[in-house]
Amino acid sequence: MNVVSDSAFPCSASVAGRILTPLKDGDLDRILPSLRSPVRLLHNAITSARQAAEWSIQKMYHRLNLPLPYDPKLRGLRLTNLFRLVNYRVRTVGISQIRTTFSGAMEVPQELQ
């Protein structure tokens, strides 16, 4: 399972390939011209998915403007609880901004899989 994140998210070698981040400024210029189009598509998809999730969560949980604790166990517990709250809300209300935004439009091209 992959996770979509902000480009500033720190990644270690143990999670390489599992956390998808958008390109940073200037990254696209360093890519071979023949690969730029599919990479740009993936970059746009990652950005859109991350923004939709971020906006949806921020509307419901204003406390997320506070920084997460540094302790990995406590941070993991808070994130797990947050995901459960979001999933509970989607199941009970039946409205998912991510589903509404990307219903069928979020398909990764075959050459990128």
pLDDT at residue 73 in the model: 93
Over 90: is that where the pLDDT of 17 sits?
Answer: no
Q: How confident is the model at residue 96 (pLDDT cuts 50, 70, 90)?
A: confident
* Mean per-residue pLDDT of the chain: 75
DSSP state of 23: P
pLDDT score for 59: 64
Give the count of beta carbons closer than 10 Å to the beta carbon of residue 50: 19
Tell me the pTM. 0.49
pLDDT greater than 70 at residue 62: no
**In this structure, what token pair is assigned to residue 4?**
């979509």
Select the more confidently predicted residue: 12 or 73.
Answer: 73
Cα within 13 Å of Cα(87), Cβ side: 6
